């Protein structure tokens, strides 16, 4: 309760939460408002928004309803963002925790692996993974998760380095607790807040990565994602710009919502910023 | 007496939501030229707020709401109310008319600038001296505060000096412009006892030579006895008693002062307790060496943290290990509970040699030797309920959870806490209560040896006395043997049967408490005992118990 109060005291964070709720509402009502397949042909192609009451956001170059794609696309974007983030955080926390807790050779080894991932631009790595493993939605989500974990690992490792020598950890060791219990039961709960905050950044980037793939026609074409819609509108960008602009605006708002919520969490979880 | 600094009816308000509305309430103090006024109190008494109000350096959202702080500014005796001055005028007074020394010289000095640069800063800000003249003055100042080799110290960076030397540099900086008032906020608390004695002597010497008025803030009655001309005692933001040092120390009138003084441990050990001849723990030539540095031999640094320490802990007795920081006493304690692995030697516990057990075996045998930590805030996991913390050890050793939690309630009662409190989180407890929780956690495994690493040094003096009493009574009731590590000789005198003095990793003296305090043989032990602040003052004992009850 106190946490919620601290969170809502920040107007930007409250706004972010409202935006995120709006995107969630889009995703939740997609099936109700647009029960038909959003990728099915609906009418004459390239109708401008508000020109036909049946398609209030217009239709794209193949005659599909843009509004239906926006609503269903919200589902896809959120699922991509969420699942990819969970994968990235799981890998990152595990590697960072082991490296930070054990130190020495294990740390060196794991950190070199992390650096190997970090020196490649992650979009390039993503392209390689998609080229090798194909571009259906599952592989894309996993691939985004696999390219996004290194910063989470570094953050977790840094937290573990400072926490592992704290007296409460030593106390646990003198009580005879095993390594697994010390790592996951004692240190990890104290190391998590900054990682959770960082997860919002990963989520925003994951949504953008999928859109970028779709823009290059490398995403799953059988899924109504916002990126696919932008990619499709590329050919008519000069005359019917709304085809790309509407999903672009949706992506902007979603990423903004996730970032604002992350920033708000950071402020609420960081006691040093209290009473400012 | 004509006061240089006069605080009249000062009240300082805390922001709404703090644990009390006022940090200071109606405080009136006079500080005369050429005297040292000690402001004493426990944590949260408002003693540092007083200094902050004078310097105009109160924390954010804390304001003085009432009263005056008069500082005599001219020779004619005209004075200004500091609370009415703007930031610009205050800056002209800070450093020039009022100097300040802080508790931790390492953080009060800028690590990126040389000592000469920082000590010379007041001259650059407040005077028009040439840089040549300034560097001459800086050298003279460093010489004044008795820094060995002032020229080299002037060129050094803060991390290249020892703690004592850094504090001397801070004092040089504070006194650079010969201020009329010097505010010292716990200036010796972070220092070792022998360094503390030197710094106290230095402050006294400079104060007498220059006739400075010193406002000295401390929590330590030993320091008060050592240095004060007059004493002011504070409690919860209220000034409860002030008077000449001899009067307050030897015939305190206010019940709170009486309780505080009664809680100060005496430096003479109580009559010897009979201790069993049988040893529960025998250390034989335990050594721990740290090696650090590069691939090549010449870059390697070797630190002998513990050198061939041989000690015995009698069954049911208390062995105190005393020494200054860096003496290796904490390393030795961590070797015994195997948080560190000793390089050589044996630690005999019954049939076992704790020094050579494998890590798996250590985990199984950890229940026999348990540890109590120093920091009551850092030693409890903030995200677990305290009952879980206490039950954790038995659960790890295979006791069913329900049973362990029931046992935790009993332990809470044993250490003087409410058994219903097991469902709360560590931050809901005070420092002394947390230390009791740490004790309950260690006792949950029913150890026969308890290793206590500075268990009371983070606590206020009255709480310290209660925790020491608890330790002593648990030792009797549970038949515990106690290894007690401390830097505070007064505490050691009260609780220890045997005492080992460590210096640079070696045990230099080992004997019964009466021997070590009454007839020390090693020169280092003697210098430690000579450095204890207020060693010539014996706290009055009359009515102490009534006073404690009244407070």
Residue B548 has pLDDT above 50, yes or no: no
pLDDT of residue B232: 94
Please identify among residues 131-170 of chain A the ones whose CB lies closer than 8 Å to any CB of chain B.
166-168, 170
Q: Give residue A64's pLDDT.
A: 83
B395 touches chain A (CB under 8 A): no
Q: Name which of A31-35, B65-69, B267-271, B303-307 the model is least confident about.
A: A31-35
- Retrieve residue B217's tokens: 């803030």
The mean pLDDT value of chain B amounts to 88
Q: How far apart are CA B89 and CA B99, in angstroms?
A: 15
User: A39 lies in a domain?
Assistant: no
Q: Which residues of B touch A172 (CB under 8 A)?
A: 381, 392
Residues B59-87 have a mean pLDDT of: 82
Task: Note whether residue A21 is domain-resident.
Answer: no
A174 vs B339: CB contact, 8 Å cut-off? yes
Interatomic CA distance for residues B317 and B476, integer angstroms: 9
In whole angstroms, give the CA distance from residue B322 to residue A177.
Answer: 30
| pLDDT score of B235 | 92
In a domain, A5, yes or no: no
Structural domain including A126 reads: 98-269
pLDDT in tens, B405-423: 999 999 999 888 999 888 8
Domains of chain B: 3-97+181-263 (3.40.50.300), 108-178 (no CATH), 267-292+301-367+469-534 (3.40.50.300), 369-446 (no CATH)
B333, B367, B392, B408: best to mutate for the A interface, most A CBs within 10 A: B392
Q: Which of residues 165-204 of B touch A (CB under 8 A)?
A: none
- pLDDT for the residue numbered A6: 77
Residue A11 lies in a domain: no
Contact assignment for A176 to B393 by CB distance below 8 Å: yes
User: Chain A within 8 Å of B378 (Cβ-Cβ)?
Assistant: yes
Cβ(B495)–Cβ(B315) under 8 Å?
Answer: no
Q: Give residue A275's pLDDT.
A: 47
| Predicted local confidence at residue B138, as pLDDT | 93
Quick: pLDDT tens for B68-80.
898 887 666 678 8
Contact: B339, A190; criterion CB under 8 Å: no
Cα separation, A77 vs A83, whole angstroms: 10
Say whether pLDDT at B489 is over 60. yes
Is the model's pLDDT at B298 over the cut of 80? no
Under 8 Å between Cβ of A209 and A194: no
Stretch B134-151: mean pLDDT: 90
Sites in chain A below the pLDDT cut of 50: 274-276
Per-residue pLDDT at B296 = 61
Question: B382 touching A, CB under 8 A?
Answer: yes
The reply to whether A116 falls in a domain is: yes
Residue among B116, B149, B147, B113 at smallest CA distance from B134: B116
Stretch B112-137: mean pLDDT = 91
CA distance A56 to chain B (A): 51
Asked whether the predicted pLDDT for residue B547 surpasses 60, the reply is: no
CA distance B483 to B451: 5
Q: What is the pLDDT of residues B257-267, one digit of tens each?
A: 998 998 888 88
Residue A187 belongs to some domain of the structure: yes
Instruction: Say which of B362, B364, B378 has its CB closest to residue A168.
Output: B378
Task: Choose the weakest-confidence range: A162-171, A224-233, B477-486, B540-549.
Answer: B540-549
Are A172 and B364 a contacting pair at CB < 8 A? no
pLDDT exceeds cutoff 60 at B271: yes
8 A C-beta contact, residue A160 and residue A192: no
Q: Is A177 on the interface with B (CB under 8 A)?
A: yes
Which CATH number covers residue A244? Answer: 1.10.3720
- In what helix (H) or strand (E) does residue B489 lie, and over which residues does it extend? helix B489-495
Contact B339 A172 (CB under 8 A): no
> Would you give the DSSP letter of residue B317?
-
Residue B549, pLDDT score: 45
Asked whether residue A210 is domain-assigned, the answer is: yes
Of the candidates B288, B236, B338, the residue with the CA atom closest to the CA atom of residue B502: B288
Query: CB of B401 within 8 Å of any CB in chain A?
Result: no
Structural tokens at position A129: 């993974």
Give the pLDDT of residue A126.
92
Residues 29-88 of B with CB under 8 A from A: 60-61
Q: What is the mean pLDDT of residues B334-347?
A: 90
Per DSSP (E only), the strands in B225-276 are: 230-235, 238-244
In this prediction, residue B302 has a pLDDT band, given cuts at 50, 70 and 90, of: confident
Q: To which residue do tokens 């390089």 refer?
A: B343
**Residue A262 located in a structural domain:** yes
3-class DSSP state of B190: coil
Q: How many domains does chain A have?
A: 1
Test B381 with A186 for CB contact under 8 angstroms: yes
Q: Inter-chain contact B380–A168, Cβ cutoff 8 Å?
A: yes
How far does the CA of residue B85 sit from the closest CA of chain A (Å)? 25
Minimal CA separation from B20 to chain A, in Å: 17
B5 DSSP β-pair partners: B31, B71
């Amino acid at each position: 309760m106190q946490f919620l109060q601290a969170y809502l005291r920040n107007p930007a964070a409250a706004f972010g939460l409202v935006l995120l709720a709006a995107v969630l509402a889009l995703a939740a009502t997609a099936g109700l408002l647009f029960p038909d397949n959003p990728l099915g042909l609906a009418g004459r192609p390239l109708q401008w928004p508000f020109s036909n009451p049946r398609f209030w956001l217009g239709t794209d170059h193949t005659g599909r309803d843009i509004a239906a794609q926006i609503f269903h696309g919200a589902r896809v974007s959120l699922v991509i963002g969420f699942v990819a983030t969970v994968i990235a955080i799981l890998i990152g926390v595990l590697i960072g925790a082991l490296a930070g807790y054990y130190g020495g050779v294990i740390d060196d080894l794991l950190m070199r692996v992390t650096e190997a991932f970090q020196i490649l631009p992650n979009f390039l790595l993503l392209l390689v993974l998609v080229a090798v493993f194909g571009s259906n939605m599952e592989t894309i989500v996993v691939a985004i998760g696999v390219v996004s974990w290194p910063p989470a690992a570094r953050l977790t490792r840094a937290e573990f380095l400072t926490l592992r020598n704290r007296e409460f950890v030593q106390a646990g060791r003198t009580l005879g607790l095993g390594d697994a219990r010390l790592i996951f039961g004692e240190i990890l709960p104290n190391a998590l807040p900054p990682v959770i905050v960082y997860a919002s950044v990963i989520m925003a980037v994951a949504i953008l990565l999928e859109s970028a793939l779709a823009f290059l026609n490398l995403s799953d074409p059988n899924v109504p994602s916002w990126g696919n819609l932008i990619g499709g509108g590329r050919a008519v960008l000069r005359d019917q710009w709304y085809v790309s602009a509407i999903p672009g605006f949706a992506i902007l708002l979603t990423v903004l919502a996730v970032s604002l919520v992350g920033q708000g969490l950071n402020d609420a979880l960081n006691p040093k910023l209290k009473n400012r | 007496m004509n006061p240089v600094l006069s605080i009249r009816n000062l009240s300082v308000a805390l922001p709404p939501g703090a644990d009390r509305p006022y940090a200071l309430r109606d405080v009136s103090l006079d500080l005369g030229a050429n005297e040292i006024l000690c402001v004493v109190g426990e944590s949260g008494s408002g003693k540092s707020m007083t200094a902050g109000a004078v310097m105009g350096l109160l924390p954010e959202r804390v304001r003085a709401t009432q009263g005056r702080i008069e500082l005599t500014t001219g020779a004619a005796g005209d004075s200004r109310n500091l609370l009415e001055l703007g930031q610009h005028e205050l800056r002209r007074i800070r450093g020039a008319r009022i100097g300040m020394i802080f508790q931790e010289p390492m953080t009060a000095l800028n690590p990126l600038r040389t000592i000469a640069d920082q000590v010379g800063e007041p001259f650059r800000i407040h005077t028009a001296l040439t840089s040549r003249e300034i560097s001459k003055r800086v050298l003279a100042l460093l010489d004044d505060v008795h820094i060995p080799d002032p020229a080299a110290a002037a060129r050094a960076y803060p991390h290249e000096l020892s703690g004592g030397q850094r504090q001397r540099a801070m004092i040089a900086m504070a006194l650079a412009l010969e201020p009329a008032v010097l505010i010292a906020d716990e200036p010796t608390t972070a220092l070792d006892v022998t360094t503390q004695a030197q710094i106290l002597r230095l402050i006294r010497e400079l104060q007498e030579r220059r006739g400075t008025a010193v406002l000295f803030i401390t929590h330590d009655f030993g320091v008060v006895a050592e240095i004060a001309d007059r004493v002011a005692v504070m409690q919860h933001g209220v000034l409860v008693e002030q008077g000449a040092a001899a009067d307050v120390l030897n015939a305190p009138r206010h019940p709170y002062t009486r309780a505080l003084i009664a809680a100060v441990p005496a430096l003479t050990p109580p009559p010897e307790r009979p201790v069993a001849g049988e040893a529960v723990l025998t250390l034989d030539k335990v050594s721990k060496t740290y090696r650090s540095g590069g691939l090549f031999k010449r870059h390697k640094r070797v630190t002998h943290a513990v050198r061939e320490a041989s000690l015995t802990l009698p069954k049911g007795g208390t062995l105190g290990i005393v020494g200054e920081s860096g003496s290796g006493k904490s390393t030795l304690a961590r070797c015994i509970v195997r948080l560190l692995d000793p390089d050589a030697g044996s630690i005999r516990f019954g049939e076992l040699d704790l020094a050579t057990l494998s890590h798996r075996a250590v985990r199984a045998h950890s229940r026999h030797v348990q540890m109590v930590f120093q920091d009551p805030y850092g030693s409890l996991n903030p995200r677990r309920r305290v009952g879980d913390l206490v039950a954790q050890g038995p659960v790890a050793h295979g006791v069913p959870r329900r049973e362990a939690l029931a046992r935790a309630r009993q332990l809470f009662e044993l250490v003087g806490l409410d058994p219903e409190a097991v469902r709360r989180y560590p931050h809901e407890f005070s420092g002394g209560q947390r230390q009791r929780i740490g004790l309950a956690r260690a006792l949950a495994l029913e150890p026969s040896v308890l290793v206590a690493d500075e268990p009371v040094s983070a606590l206020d003096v009255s709480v310290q006395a209660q925790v020491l009493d608890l330790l002593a009574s648990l030792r009797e009731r549970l038949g515990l043997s106690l290894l007690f590590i401390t830097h505070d000789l007064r505490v050691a005198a009260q609780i220890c049967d045997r005492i080992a003095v460590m210096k640079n990793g070696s045990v230099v003296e080992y004997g019964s408490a009466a021997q070590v305090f009454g007839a020390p043989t090693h020169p280092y032990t003697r210098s430690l005992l000579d450095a204890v602040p207020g060693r010539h003052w014996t706290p009055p004992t009359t009515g102490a118990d009534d006073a404690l009850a009244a407070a």
